[in-house]
């Protein structure tokens, strides 16, 4: 097997650094391949995947329809669950209908948060102007009055009240009530040209990395803290509990249905049609493991 170096991109958020710690530190490996790891904001990761620049990459679930021709979605390592959705915030109490004609900050135009808010506004016949910015800038933009409202993700759902903001809508709750399904937020994708064997091994390695993190949570603590935007240990712990779920180990049948539903919604909104290619990598055996480095 040719021992090429694989590029791997994921975010500095606690859920990703928790999941990928063992892989990043060689505790779990993809030998003989080495990893060139890049940590970046989710919208930058989306852009890298849209350009086909990464072998393995965390992306927003909303971007999957646009990269399906080049990437396959892995069943491990993603963010999906209930009670995990982006929140719409404002500096004063508002309803969604009050945002008609408003400027709303979004944490990237290709993010699932922007997609969900667009779908909700379409349902309520609300039009808005999206102002694209890094997720960590959204709350300040709302609090300062630069925008009327903002879609917040990641740690923001745990800290918005401290910033004096008010919840306009819980986009995850809206999705769950509308579909009865968990909400897909992000996924790990692999370039199709890596080949089925390497894709399968990468998928198993990511699951093994998460299994190691769950078995040894203290091992990843310093790595997570070093990259987290919000340094409060209680917020970091809540972030991991919220965004790392059993769907992160393996999507399963319900996760597949949820991902398919979100992709169909995204395609309907944009008027696109999906390429005739399998979205997901083959299922992992229940006993799938990969050798860990002693």
Say what the alpha-carbon torsion angle 212, 214, 218, 224 is, to the nearest 10 degrees: 90
Statement to judge: residues 33 and 111 lie in one domain? no
Domain boundary among 179, 214, 236: 179
Tokens of 204: 């198993």
Query: Is 275 domain-assigned?
Result: no
| Enclosing domain of residue 38 | 5-81+182-270
Statement to judge: residues 174 and 187 lie in one domain? no
Query: Is 285 domain-assigned?
Result: no
Answer for the pair 183, 258: CB distance below 8 angstroms, yes or no. yes
Residue 30, strand partner residues: 33
d(Cα 80, Cα 83) in Å, to the nearest integer?
Answer: 9
Average pLDDT over residues 165-186: 96
Catalytic residue among 21, 33, 114, 154: 154
Statement to judge: residues 59 and 128 lie in one domain? no
Q: Model confidence over 56-108: pLDDT tens digits? A: 999 999 999 999 989 999 999 999 999 888 999 999 999 999 999 999 999 98
Statement to judge: residues 173 and 192 lie in one domain? no
Average pLDDT over residues 148-175: 88
The dihedrals phi and psi of 169, each to the nearest 5 degrees, come to -160, 145
User: Which of 23, 25, 30, 21 is CA-nearest to residue 202?
Assistant: 30
pLDDT band at 289 (very low <50, low <70, confident <90, very high): very low
In DSSP notation, 7-32 reads EEEE-SSHHHHHHHHHHHTTSB-BTT
User: Which of 227, 130, 262, 188 is CA-nearest to residue 7?
Assistant: 188
Query: Is 133 domain-assigned?
Result: yes
Statement to judge: residues 60 and 77 lie in one domain? yes
Answer for the pair 152, 139: CB distance below 8 angstroms, yes or no. yes
Q: Model confidence over 24-54: pLDDT tens digits? A: 999 999 989 999 999 999 889 999 999 999 9
Query: Is 292 domain-assigned?
Result: no
Answer yes or no: is pLDDT of 2 > 90: no
Answer for the pair 11, 39: CB distance below 8 angstroms, yes or no. yes
What count of other Cβ atoms lies within 10 Å of the Cβ of residue 166?
15
Considering the entire predicted model, what is its pTM?
A: 0.88
| ∠ CA 24-28-29, rounded to 5° | 85
Any catalytic annotation for residue 154? yes
Answer yes or no: is pLDDT of 207 > 90: yes
Q: What is the pLDDT of residue 84?
A: 86
Helix (H, G, I), strand (E, B) or coil at 33: strand
Tokens of 57: 């990459």
Statement to judge: residues 66 and 19 lie in one domain? yes
Query: Is 284 domain-assigned?
Result: no
Q: Where are the beta strands (DSSP E) in 56-212?
A: 56-60, 71-73, 79-81, 87-90, 102-106, 128-132, 149-152, 166-170, 183-191
Helices (H) and strands (E) in the chain, counts: 12, 11
Statement to judge: residues 205 and 246 lie in one domain? yes
What Rg do the C-alpha atoms of the chain give, in angstroms?
19
Statement to judge: residues 111 and 171 lie in one domain? yes
Query: Is 244 domain-assigned?
Result: yes
CA torsion through residues 232, 110, 43, 246, sign:
positive
Q: How many domains does the chain fold into?
A: 2
* Cβ contacts of 160 within 8 Å, gap of 6 or more: 87, 89, 139, 152, 167
CATH code of 194's domain: 3.40.190.10
Domain boundary among 179, 199, 218: 179
Domain boundary among 145, 179, 213: 179
The dihedrals phi and psi of 203, each to the nearest 5 degrees, come to -60, -45
Statement to judge: residues 30 and 70 lie in one domain? yes
Query: Is 148 domain-assigned?
Result: yes
């Amino acid at each position: 097997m040719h021992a090429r170096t694989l590029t791997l991109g994921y975010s500095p958020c606690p859920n990703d650094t928790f999941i990928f710690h063992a892989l990043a530190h060689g505790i779990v490996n993809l030998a003989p391949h080495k990893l060139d790891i890049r940590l970046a904001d989710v919208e930058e990761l989306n852009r890298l995947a849209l350009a086909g620049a990464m072998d393995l990459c965390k992306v927003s679930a909303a971007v999957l329809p646009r990269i399906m021709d080049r990437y396959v979605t892995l069943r491990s390592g993603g963010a999906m669950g209930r009670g995990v959705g982006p929140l719409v915030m404002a500096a004063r109490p508002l309803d969604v209908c009050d945002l008609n004609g408003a400027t709303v900050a979004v944490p990237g135009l290709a993010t699932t948060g922007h997609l969900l808010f667009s779908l909700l506004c379409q349902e309520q016949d609300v039009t808005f102007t999206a102002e694209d910015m890094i997720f960590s800038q959204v709350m300040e933009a709302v609090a300062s009055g630069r925008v009327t409202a903002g879609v917040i993700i990641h740690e923001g759902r745990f800290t918005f009240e401290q910033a004096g903001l008010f919840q306009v809508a819980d986009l995850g709750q809206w999705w769950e009530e509308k579909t009865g399904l968990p909400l897909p937020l992000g996924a790990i994708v692999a370039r199709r040209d890596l080949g089925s064997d390497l894709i399968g091994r990468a998928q198993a390695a990511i699951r093994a990395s998460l299994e190691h993190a769950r078995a040894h949570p203290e091992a990843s603590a310093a790595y997570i803290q070093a990259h987290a935007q919000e340094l409060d240990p209680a917020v970091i712990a809540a972030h991991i509990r919220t965004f790392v779920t059993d769907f992160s180990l393996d999507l399963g049948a319900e996760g597949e249905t949820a991902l398919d539903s979100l992709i169909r919604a995204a395609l309907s909104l944009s008027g696109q049609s999906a390429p005739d290619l399998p979205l997901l990598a083959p299922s992992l055996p229940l006993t799938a493991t990969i050798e860990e480095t002693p």
